[in-house]
Amino acid sequence: MSLAEFAAREGLHKVGGRPPIGSYLVDVWRRRAFIYSLSRFRIEAENGRNRLGMAWVVLKPLIQAAVYGTIFGVLLGRENRPDQFILFLVIGVFFFEYFSSCFASGAKSITSNTNLVQSLSFPRMSLPLALVTQRLLQFVPMIVIAIVLVLAFGTMPRWEWLLLIPLVALFTVFNAGLTLITARLTVHIRDLTQLLPFITRFFFYTSGTFFSVERRFGGNETIMAIADVQPIHEFMDLARSVLLTGPDYVVETKYWAYSAAWAFAVLIIGTVYFWAAEERYGRDD
């Protein structure tokens, strides 16, 4: 009798195999306390040594919006600026910041935690998911600031604002899916981290973060067709349409369907793609 037959007879399992996706996802769900604590403690650790501590979660995006506002507000000139430009910009920058921080640091969520992956066995998906959770926790105060600013500029609260909840949920689903994809890609091709800042920049300039795609390219059918299906642009436009009123902030209902389709498609692809290489993470070949 060979050792392999002996092991099989005694009910031993082969080490290093990948669990089927169903039980894998159950495993991930069991680890939710770990995922949540990891993300919360990381925020704490990041800010613990700064004098202003947790205030930076809120200060950083505000400063960013102020910088972009000064630059682009002057560059664009009055006639190209949409109504309520400051709010337009703040919402755009905050939403983009959520996307780009997931995209950029999510890509490194496995490679920068090699030690952790090599020493403990847990479903590796916990790491990118913890990263997205961390960014979500940092995003919520930014939304609160955006709402405060909208109120400060004289817009009355409306029931429609509740639509922010499903919108942020969809955006999180989208970001999680994307993070899972980039997290695995970076494991195979480390060089990707060199490219990612440029991809992020590209989306920053093309998604209408600081200018209105509709105003600038409204007449060009090709560009508008692309903008219609570009997910980040969709999410930003939806957020503005929920919070702001006026002719610049009307979006078609189909944007909701499009963005939901994007979110779930990316999540499903990302989950399967990430799981498929589960036993590969942490190996140093």
Partner 1 sequence: MAETTDGANDGRRPAVVVDDVHVEYKVFGTGKRASADEKARKLTKRRRTTRTVHALKGVSFTVYEGDSVGVIGSNGSGKSTLMRAIVGLTPTSQGAIYATSRPSMLGVGAALLRDLSGERNVILGGLALGLTLDEIDAKFDEIVDFAGIRDFIDLPMRTYSSGMTARLKFAIATAREHEILIVDEALAVGDKRFRRRSEARIRQIRDNAGTVFLVSHSMQSIRDTCNRVIWINKGELMLDGKPDEVIEAYEESMQ
Residue 115 binds partner 1 (CB under 8 A): yes
Cβ contact 5:93 at 8 Å: no
Residue 116 binds partner 1 (CB under 8 A): yes
- In this structure, which amino acid lies at residue 252? E
Site string for partner 1, 28-47 (x = CB under 8 A): ---x-xx--xx--xx-xxx-
Instruction: Give the nearest distance from C-beta 116 to partner 1 in angstroms.
Output: 4
Instruction: Give the nearest distance from C-beta 31 to partner 1 in angstroms.
Output: 8
For helices 55-76 and 85-106, give the axis angle rounded to 10 degrees: 120
Cβ contact 198:59 at 8 Å: no
Residue 14 binds partner 1 (CB under 8 A): yes
Residue 7 binds partner 1 (CB under 8 A): yes
Residue 2 binds partner 1 (CB under 8 A): yes
Q: Which of 224, 179, 210 is nearest to 95 (CA)?
A: 210
Angstrom distance (rounded) from CA 205 to CA 277: 33
- Tell me whether residue 9 or residue 78 sits nearer to partner 1 (CB atom): 9
- Tell me whether residue 40 or residue 215 sits nearer to partner 1 (CB atom): 40
Instruction: Give the nearest distance from C-beta 98 to partner 1 in angstroms.
Output: 23
Angstrom distance (rounded) from CA 97 to CA 64: 9
Site string for partner 1, 254-283 (x = CB under 8 A): -------------------------x--xx
Angstrom distance (rounded) from CA 122 to CA 174: 24
Residue among 29, 48, 165, 201 that touches partner 1 (CB under 8 A): 48
Q: Which of 208, 201, 203 is nearest to 251 (CA)?
A: 208
Cβ contact 128:282 at 8 Å: no
Q: Which stretch binds partner 1 (CB under 8 A): 9-17, 81-89, 160-168, 266-274?
A: 9-17
- Tell me whether residue 1 or residue 74 sits nearer to partner 1 (CB atom): 1
Q: 268 CB contacts (<8 Å, ≥6 apart)?
A: 177
Q: Where are the alpha helices (DSSP H) in 107-163?
A: 114-119, 126-152
Instruction: Give the nearest distance from C-beta 179 to partner 1 in angstroms.
Output: 20
- Find tokens 């060089």 and name the residue: 191
Residue 15 binds partner 1 (CB under 8 A): yes
Angstrom distance (rounded) from CA 175 to CA 100: 9
Residue among 56, 72, 122, 256 that touches partner 1 (CB under 8 A): 122
The contact set with partner 1 (CB under 8 A) reads 1-4, 6-8, 10-16, 31, 33-34, 37-38, 41-42, 44-46, 48-49, 113, 115-116, 118-122, 279, 282-283, 285
